[in-house]
A and B are shown apart, each in its own frame.
Chain A
């Protein structure tokens, strides 16, 4: 069975600073992946970044990077230089059965 855990219900960050959103996972599959999605108040889920378990390097997409620690079963999202538009819910997810975590609400302060 797969499981995703996001332990931070809410986070605040000052504009232009970096923030890390935590995600831990559990799976018995030898090959797997982790996603992060952003959900603004409009409701649409927006794909941010993907990491495969056999990828040699941590994934990066612009201001988003994934701190993937396989031994710790963690896949934390790092957002650099936060912007006001980054305020949203953030979900960690695993493909296959597409299990989502409970999300972290990020608020960027001006």
Chain B
């Protein structure tokens, strides 16, 4: 079974530029999460999707961050415009069903904003 795929693995941009990250969850997983992990900290949940609907985006900085999950499969997370403090690893995770709590994570995208 293929795991959660994320791309790119690394991205370097300058502040005020835009960037997008892509995630392909494990096949059949209805729930998808995006996390931000700043160096030295634990992951922070940004947004949770159930199929193609948003369940929780309370910690998503909506003035610059946006996310979508068209057709309930792949998802993209966008930052526009980026700030220095957005430098972090962006992790995508998926979960098979409401009854199963275990999340499966991708390898993440490491973003450096200069």
The residues of A with any CB-CB pair to B shorter than 8 Å are 4, 33, 35, 37, 42-47, 50, 91, 93, 95, 97-103
- Contact partners of A95 in chain B: CB under 8 A: 101
- Which of B33, B44, B56, B101 lies in contact with A33, CB distance below 8 A? B101
Measured CB to CB, the closest approach of chain A to B109, in angstroms, equals 9
Please give the number of chain B residues whose Cβ is less than 8 angstroms from any Cβ of chain A in the complex.
22
Contact in complex: A97, B43 (CB < 8 Å): no
- Contact partners of A91 in chain B: CB under 8 A: 42-43
Residue of A at shortest CB range from B44? A100
Contact in complex: A44, B56 (CB < 8 Å): no
Contact in complex: B104, A47 (CB < 8 Å): yes
Contact in complex: A97, B42 (CB < 8 Å): no
| Main DSSP-derived SS at the B contact region | strand
Q: Knowing A35-B101, A98-B103 are in contact, say whether A43-B42 is a contact too (CB < 8 A).
A: no
- Contact partners of B108 in chain A: CB under 8 A: 43-44
Contact in complex: A43, B103 (CB < 8 Å): no
- Which of B40, B43, B44, B56 lies in contact with A45, CB distance below 8 A? B43
A52–B89 Cα gap in the complex (Å)?
29
- Contact partners of B101 in chain A: CB under 8 A: 33, 35, 50, 95
- Contact partners of A47 in chain B: CB under 8 A: 102-104
Q: Does chain A have a CB within 8 A of B77?
A: no
- Which of A33, A44, A103 lies in contact with B42, CB distance below 8 A? A103
